[in-house]
Structure 1
Amino acid sequence: MSGPSAVAGVDGSEQSVLAARWAAREADLRGLPLHLLLVNDDPARAPHCESALADATRACHEVAPELTVTAEITFGHPIEELVHISAHAPLLVVGSRGRGGFLDAVLGSVSSAVATHGECPVVVVRNPADTGPVVVGVDNSRGSRFALAFAFDAAARRATGLVAVQALPDAYFHPGPFPHPDRDELRDSADRHLAEQLAGWSEQYPDVPVSRAATNEHPVAALREAAEGAQLLVVGHRGRGGFTGMLLGSVASGVLHHSPCPVAVVRMDRTS
C-alpha cells in the first residue's frame, strides 16, 4: 500500500462486505483511496480469498464508482496484521462479526481487539445507514476532545447534525419521589458545562446543527438510546494503541457490544 489510504479488513463474510461498503463511502467523503486487506489465517481458505476480495471490491465500486480501491491478501494473524497496518492508516474499518478469526457470538474477537489496540480511529460497522445524526459521547477527558474532533468532521462531511451526550449517572436531576432542592440547578449546570465543551467546535463547524443531552443514565444506556436512528456513534479511547496500550474502557466496550449503528473508537493522538 502506497500513500495514506483508508483500510477495510475483509474476510468474505456478509458483515465484512457491509464494512467494505461503509469504508468506501467514508473514503469517498474524505477524498482518500481505499485499501482492502484480507488476512488469511487458514491455508485451506486460500482458494476462496481472491473471490472474496473481488466481491468486496465490486461492492465498494457500487457505492463509489470513481473510488480508487486496492486489495491485498496476506497470511498471518488477523488481529496482529490489522493493528500493524493501523499505525500507518488514517482510518481502519471492520465488520462487527465475521468468518474464521472474525467470528464471535456478539462482537467479533478481531473487531473488539482491533478497536482496543488500533493506532488510528477504528470503525466497527453494524447496521449501517445513510441518514440520521452523528452521536458523540463527551466526558470532560482529553480522549473525548479527540472524539469530538472526529464527530464534528464526520457530521460536516455528511451534512447532518450532531448529538453530544454527557452521562452523569450521579447527578440525580431527573424527577423522582423525593424532591432534590438543587435538581434544576444541577441540570442547568450540566447543560452549561456541556455547551462550554462544544462551543469551540461549533464555531469551527457553524453548519453542523448541534443537540445536547446531559443525563444521569448509565453512559452505555444513554449512548445506545441516542444512537437509535444515527449514522455513526463516536466514543473516545484513552489507550495508547498497539499491543502495549490500555484495554478499552468499559463505556467504549459496552457501546461496541450494544450500539444499533456503526461505532467509531477514537483514541488520543499518536503523539499524546
Structure 2
Amino acid sequence: MIIVGVDGSPHARAAVEWAADDALRMRQPLRIVHAVDRSPYQIAKFPAAQWPDALVRGGEQALAEALAVARERQPSVEASTRLLEGPPAIVLRDEAADAAEVVVGNRGLGGFAGALLGSVSVHVAGQVRCPVVVVRGETDRRHDRIAVGVDDSPECEPALAYAFEQARLRGCAIRAVYAWYMPVYAFAPCPNDMDAIREAADEIINDRLERFKKEYPQVTVEEDVQAAHPVDALRQASTESDLLVVGSHGHGALASTLVGSVSRGVLHHADCPVAVVRAR
C-alpha cells in the first residue's frame, strides 16, 4: 500500500498525483490520510471537544478533494481515505507500518504542512521503514532519468535498490552520483595523490553498482563521479532528473530517529521530488 498525507493545499494535490502514478506502476492500493491535530488548540479552560469541529470538517473536505484527484488521475487504482487524530508525524509513522511507500508534499496549510522539512520530517524519515517521497519542484516535466546518491556506507544499498526498481518501472535511466571532498593539506596535493583519490572513488561506485547492473540489465546507468559537496552534486543532478533518491544517514545516540545532513540538504534544495530510503 502507498500512503499519501494531504491537507487541502496545492502541494498536497501534487503529492496525490505522484502517489496515484506510483500506485499504478507498483500495483499497490492507495490510502489518502489526513491528520487532525488538536494539540495546538488544547486550552484547559476551553477544551477543544467543546468547539465547533471545523478541524474535522476541513479534514473531510481535504480527503474528498484528494480522492477526486486520485480517481481522475488514475481511475484504475484502488483508493481509500482515512481521517485520523494526532500529530502528523505520529499518524504518518503508524499508518506506514506495512506501507510500500509514503508520499507527502513539501509545503501545506496544516496537517502535513512542511511534513518533511522540519523536526517532523526528521522524526518521520528516521522512523518510517519504507521509502518516504517528498514531492517538490517541477513534477510535470520529463527527463526520463532518476538520480541516486552513492557512497561507501551500508545505507547506500537500499537507496540503490529503490532507485533501480523505480527506473525499471518507469523505463528510464539511472544517474549514479558519487561526490568526494577535495583533501585539505597544508600544501597542494601532488598529482599522484589526486589520481589515487579518483581511482578509489571510481572503484567505490563500480563496486556499489555491479550487482544492480546485473539485476537490471535493461536500465541504462550513467556514472557521475565528481569532487564536490554531496548536497551540491545531488542538487545539480536533480535539475535534470524526475526523482532524486538518497539513503538515510543518521548519526549519534539518536541515529534511528534522524536523517543525515545530506538528506536534509537535498530535501530543502532539490529541484525535483526526493525519496529518502532507510534500510529495513
Shorter-chain TM-score tier: 0.7 to 0.9
When residues 60 and 170 of structure 1 are mapped into structure 2, their CA distance, relative to the original with a 3 A threshold, is same
Counterpart residue number, 2:84: 74
Counterpart residue number, 1:211: 222
Q: Which residue type is aligned with residue 40 of structure 1?
A: V
Counterpart residue number, 2:16: 20
Structure 1 residue 235: deviation in Å? 0.7
Counterpart residue number, 2:103: 93
Distance 1:202 1:58 in 2: 39
Counterpart residue number, 2:244: 233
Distance 1:115 1:30 in 2: 21
Q: Which residue type is aligned with residue 79 of structure 1?
A: A
Unaligned runs of 5+ in 1: none
When residues 181 and 119 of structure 1 are mapped into structure 2, their CA distance, relative to the original with a 3 A threshold, is closer
Q: Which residue type is aligned with residue 33 of structure 1?
A: P
Q: Which residue type is aligned with residue 80 of structure 1?
A: I
Check the 8 A contact 1:101/1:109 in 2, yes or no: no
Q: Secondary structure at 1:65's aligned position in 2?
A: coil
Q: Secondary structure at 1:120's aligned position in 2?
A: coil
Structure 1 residue 50: deviation in Å? 2.0
Counterpart residue number, 1:159: 171
Q: Which residue type is aligned with residue 28 of structure 1?
A: L
Q: Secondary structure at 2:72's aligned position in 1?
A: helix
When residues 203 and 56 of structure 1 are mapped into structure 2, their CA distance, relative to the original with a 3 A threshold, is same
Superposition pairs of residues 80-119 of structure 1, within 5 angstroms:
80-104=90-114, 107=117, 110-119=120-129
Counterpart residue number, 1:180: 191
TM-score (norm 1): 0.87
Q: Deviations over 1:151-183 (max 9, x none)?
A: 0001111100001111111358xxxx9862343
Q: Secondary structure at 2:178's aligned position in 1?
A: strand
- Structure 1 consecutive aligned stretches of length 4 or more whose deviation exceeds 6 Å: none
TM-score (norm 2): 0.85
Count how many residue pairs are aligned between Structure 1 and Structure 2.
259
Check the 8 A contact 1:97/1:111 in 2, yes or no: no
Counterpart residue number, 1:9: 5
Q: Secondary structure at 1:35's aligned position in 2?
A: strand
Distance 1:84 1:116 in 2: 13
Structure 1 residue 202: deviation in Å? 0.6
The reply to whether residue 263 of structure 1 matches residue 274 of structure 2 is yes
Taking only the aligned residue pairs, the percentage that are identical comes to 40
Unaligned runs of 5+ in 2: 39-52
Superposition pairs of residues 37-76 of structure 1, within 5 angstroms:
37-42=33-38, 43-76=53-86
Q: Secondary structure at 2:75's aligned position in 1?
A: coil
Check the 8 A contact 1:135/1:165 in 2, yes or no: yes
Task: Note the aligned Cα RMSD (angstroms).
Answer: 2.4
Check the 8 A contact 1:228/1:261 in 2, yes or no: yes
Q: Larger Cα Rg: Structure 1 or Structure 2?
A: 2
Q: Which residue type is aligned with residue 173 of structure 2?
A: G
Distance 2:171 2:19 in 1: 18
When residues 207 and 15 of structure 1 are mapped into structure 2, their CA distance, relative to the original with a 3 A threshold, is same
**After the TM superposition, which of the residue ranges 126-135 and 226-235 deviates more from structure 2?**
126-135
Distance 1:95 1:114 in 2: 14
Q: Secondary structure at 2:107's aligned position in 1?
A: coil
Check the 8 A contact 1:15/1:95 in 2, yes or no: yes
Check the 8 A contact 2:36/2:87 in 1, yes or no: yes
Counterpart residue number, 2:48: none
Q: Secondary structure at 1:85's aligned position in 2?
A: helix
Distance 2:240 2:258 in 1: 29
The reply to whether residue 29 of structure 1 matches residue 25 of structure 2 is yes
Q: Which residue type is aligned with residue 90 of structure 2?
A: E
Distance 2:97 2:241 in 1: 28
